[in-house]
Every structure is written in structure tokens, then in C-alpha cells.
Amino acid sequence: MHNTKKLREIYCQMGIRREVLDYCQRIEEGLRPRFAVMDQTAEYNQMKVIKAMQDNRVSDIHFAATTGYGYNDLGRDTLEEVYASLFHTEAALVRPNLISGTHALHVALSANLRPGDELLSPVGKPYDTLEEVIGIRESAGSLKEYGVTYRQVDLLPDGGFDYEGIRAAIRPQTRLVTIQRSKGYMTRPTLSVAQIGELIAFVKRINPDIICMVDNCYGEFVEPIEPTDLGADMIVGSLIKNPGGGLAPIGGYIAGKKERVDRASYRLSAPGLGKEVGASLGLNTAFYQGLFLAPTVVASALKGAIFAASVYEGLGFSVTPSAGEDRHDIIQAITFGDPKGVIAFCQGIQAAAPVDSFVTPEPWDMPGYDAPVIMAAGAFVQGSSIELSADGPIKPPYTVFFQGGLTWYHAKLGVMMSLEKLMASGLLEENLKEL
Ligand SMILES: *Cc1c(COP(=O)(O)O)cnc(C)c1O
């Protein structure tokens, strides 16, 4: 490449030493074939998004803001049609007042469950924040308080579904099955869409009336298909993760069968009002444009994840998923076995950020956590985890979770900077020879 020298110069100015750059360039070279596959998925998903926008005749009139009740918000209503087309569902609810993934999941669950119903998770313990939504941990306003019971069947030790256990757990009152696609911040494997499809088919064979909901957080656009292509009645996610493309400043979505989505809308606003109200306050442009960018943003984040896995596996650290594994979400876990590793890694990610690069994250006690937590996020949108970010609890086995990256180059810089910080804290002494 004719500008290799310039590239080296600027990386040097950014504080990346030659050995780190050379090692990382070699890793990147080796990943080219996999990057090509990711680019192809992004290309396919990009066409899906453009087609959904064209089919729904998206126009600049849809970028206008509404206020107050938000009646006849054409932009909002059309955006929901676009999501429904994209995910091949009857309907969708895409709103700034679904304030997070947890909120969207809470709305979807509480709208579609009634006292006496049972909720079943056939894939083990759900995401932390859902423990209080469900009432696994006592909490005011939980589903449990409203008389909704909960059962859980764990995955088998090899990560597979415990079909016998699931069959035994399905009872007449089982009304809704919740399937979390991403491992989130646990060590179980992330499920592929195909696996989710098999699980849904199994549940529906036992009782076709059971509602199958998928927590789709971190999974959107990683594959060419989504769980609604394989029988999910509802998928739910956050717009400050994958489908917001980094541009949505807030929001969540629920897409699926019309009855499910309508019920969610009555829960979100009020019975009788549903989808008809809810001003978009000028956020529509960011939602459309973010969705438009999402397939390539997700590909960048995926490249960053396999790059981090390869870089750290190459240095002898344990990484989940392993460097060579197929990807079904954008999260990468790296285990350092030493608190200094988690801290240095997060400080490297922070130092590589376009925003707040000059601050140094430190571990801190946080509500809801049993150990201090360190978080790196130099993000344009607070808490956005489609932007390059990393966090980890300061407790054994000292694992850091890394995700996001609006561009692949930024993710690459973040990983290289993390190596610099690890070196500075003396943690790579032995691995250095391999560099
Ligand atoms: C992030 C996430 C959630 C919750 O989303 P928030 O926006 O943080 O409330 C739920 N489930 C999974 C799998 C997630 O990754």
C-alpha cells in the first residue's frame, strides 16, 4: 500500500509502538477471508434495509418532528412499517419512549402475560436486569407481583438445549417462552438464529399457542436472517445497540405478530390509545439514518470482536468466543486472570475514544453489582454499546467484555491501545516475545 508509511506515522503519533502494530497487522491479514464473509452479510442486510425503506416509500416528509400527543406522526408510523418489512413481521413498535432494551422487554412481557400465566426461559438465566422485571430478585412492580410465575430450564453443559427438561417444564399455564439470543455478559454460548428456530419449532409442536419471544439485543444484522424468519412471535431490542446504527440517541423496538405488538402499544401508552400517540420530537431522522447504517456498523463491530479474540488468543489469553468460532453477536469476552488486565484493557479502550479520551476509568462500586466495576465508554451517546466500549467486574476470573465500534478502524485502534496499556502495566512481559 502506497501510504503504509503515513499509516505507521500516524499510529506512532497516536502512541502505538511498532511491535504492536506489526503484530496486529499480521493478525488482520489472517482475518481477511472472515472479514469478507462479514462484508457480504452486511451487503445483504444493507439491501434488506434499503428495500424495506423503498417498499414503504420513505420520503423527506417522514423526517418532520411532531410534538404533544403526536397524532398522525407519519414518520413514526412509516418507520414502524419499515421495521415490520425488514423483520418480515406483521407489525412493529419503534419508539423513543421505549427507553432501553430492558424497558422494551418489560413492555413486551407485561403486555402479553396475565395473572396466572407462566413465563418460561428454556435457555437459562436471563440478562441481569430482567431478574427484577420477572421477579427472580424481589422487586416492586415485577411480573411476579402481578401473579405471573416463572420457570427456567438451563442449557446443557455443552451449551445445547435440554429438550427433555423443556418438555417437562411446559405446563398448561405456560403462556410465553423467552429466548435470549446473545449470551450477554455470561459465559454460555450465544445462540444462532437457526438454533433459535429449532427451539421455537420444538415449543410450538408441544403447544402452538405459546408465544415465543426473542430478546434480540446485540444480535441484529449479525446474520442474514432474524428470529422472526424462523417462527418468533416477537423480537425485542434496543436502539442504542445494533439497529440504531450508532445514530439513534435513545429507543427500543418490538416487532412481531400484530396482536402482540398492539398489546405492547397499549401497555406502553394506554389502553385505547396504543400506537396512535407518542410524539417523535424530531428523532425520526436519526432512527431512519441509524437503521440505514446499522448493517455496516454491525460488521465493523464484528470485525473488532474477532480481531480482539485473535490478538488476545495469540498472546495466550482465554477468549470467549474463541478466535475461530462463528459469531452470533458482537460481544467478546477476554479473561485476564488478573485485575490489572481488566483495568488496563478498559483504559486502553477509553484512550482510543473520540470522546473523553483524556479521562482514566477506574473500578467503582455500582448499585446491583457485588464487586467494583470498571467501564470504558468514550461514546457520543451515553451508555451506547454499539459504540466501542468495554467493561468488567473486578472479581475472578477477571474477565472484560468488549463490544461495538462504529467503524472497524476505531475498533482496531482500541484493541491496539489496550495492548499498549497492558504493556505499560507490565502484564505482557512474557507474551512480548511472541509479538
Ligand atoms: C443489553 C441487553 C439487555 C438490556 O438492554 P438495556 O438497554 O441495557 O436495558 C437485555 N438483554 C440483552 C441480551 C442485552 O444484551
Is the minimum distance from the CB of 218 to ligand 1 under 6 angstroms? yes
Residue to mutate, 182, 217, 382, 401, ligand 1, most ligand atoms under 8 Å from C-beta: 217
Please report which residue ranges of 331-407 form alpha helices under DSSP H: 339-351
Q: So what's the pLDDT on residue 434? A: 59
Is the minimum distance from the CB of 404 to ligand 1 under 6 angstroms? no
Residue closest via CA to ligand 1's atom 6 equals: 101
Is the minimum distance from the CB of 215 to ligand 1 under 6 angstroms? yes
| 77 class by beta-carbon count within 10 Å (0-12 exposed, 13-18 middle, 19+ buried) | middle
Q: C-alpha cell of 349?
A: 479502550
User: Which is the CATH superfamily of the domain at 2-47+292-434?
Assistant: Methioning gamme-lyase, C-terminal domain (3.90.1150.60)
Residue to mutate, 98, 99, 102, 386, ligand 1, most ligand atoms under 8 Å from C-beta: 102
235 and 219 Cβ atoms separated by less than 8 Å: no
Q: So what's the pLDDT on residue 433? A: 62
**Residues of the chain below pLDDT 70:** 1-2, 368, 430-435
The fold for domain 66-281 equals Aspartate Aminotransferase; domain 2 (3.40.640)
Between CA 239 and CA 100 the distance in angstroms is 8
Residue to mutate, 241, 328, 375, ligand 1, most ligand atoms under 8 Å from C-beta: 241
175 and 119 Cβ atoms separated by less than 8 Å: yes
pTM, full prediction: 0.96
Q: So what's the pLDDT on residue 175? A: 98
Q: So what's the pLDDT on residue 277? A: 97
Cα 6 to averaged position of ligand 1 atoms, centre (Å): 40
Cα 161 to averaged position of ligand 1 atoms, centre (Å): 22
The domain spans of the chain are: 2-47+292-434, 66-281
Is the minimum distance from the CB of 127 to ligand 1 under 6 angstroms? yes
